[in-house]
Each structure stands twice: as C-alpha cells, then as structure tokens.
Amino acid sequence: MKYPDIELVNNEAIHNFELVVDGHRSFIDYKIKDEKIYLIHTEVPAELKGKGVAEAIVEKTFSYIEQHHLKLVPMCTYVQVYLKRHPQWNRLLAS
C-alpha cells in the first residue's frame, strides 16, 4: 500500500474520506444508507497526479469499509476501474 504512514480521515461532516499528501487534500465523496456506502466521486489535486494517491485513498477507503462491515456501491468511475484491476475487493460489493 502506498503512503502507509498517512492516515485516512473520515470527515463525516461533509461525507468525505480524506488523504493529505504533501499538504494537498485528496478525497472521496460518499453517502451511507442502510449499511451500504456509495462512493460517488474521487478527486486528487493536480499536484499529486501520477503519484499513486488515488490508488492509495481507494485502498484505504476499502479497508475502512471492510472494518466497518459496510457494503460497497461504486458510483465513481475511478473506483469502478480500480475494482476491475483489483477483483479481490469485489467481496465488498453490495448485492
């Protein structure tokens, strides 16, 4: 996992998972309803593009989802592509 020393922050007030790398904030917008978590949008600032930050925030978010026994509904296109590349995470998908 990239950026193992950087903690994922669940900013519940604005429904974002956040990862701050080199002073820049990346985030995933989410919504939780009925034990399902909908990942809506992933955003990484231009300064961090190509550094593996999007992959890291998705991996950390998936670990959070698993630890909290939620089921994943991937609405974000980046998350959908990530799941195709890493099918082991399909275990989180809502039926």
Mean pLDDT of 61-69: 98
Q: What is the CATH number of the domain that holds 41?
A: 3.40.630.30
- Specify the pLDDT at position 95: 87
Q: How many domains does one find in the chain? A: 1
Distance CA 5, CA 27 (A): 17
Distance CA 63, CA 92 (A): 10
The answer as to whether 18 is a domain residue is yes
**Whole-prediction pTM:** 0.95
34: left (phi over 0), alpha (psi -120 to 50) or beta: left
The answer as to whether 72 is a domain residue is yes
**Which domain range does residue 31 map to?**
9-92
The answer as to whether 3 is a domain residue is no
The residue type at 65: I
The answer as to whether 2 is a domain residue is no
The answer as to whether 76 is a domain residue is yes
Task: Give the tens place of pLDDT for each residue, 68-85.
Answer: 999 999 999 999 999 999
Helix 53-67 and helix 77-85: axis angle, to 10°? 80
Contact 94, 70 (CB under 8 A): no
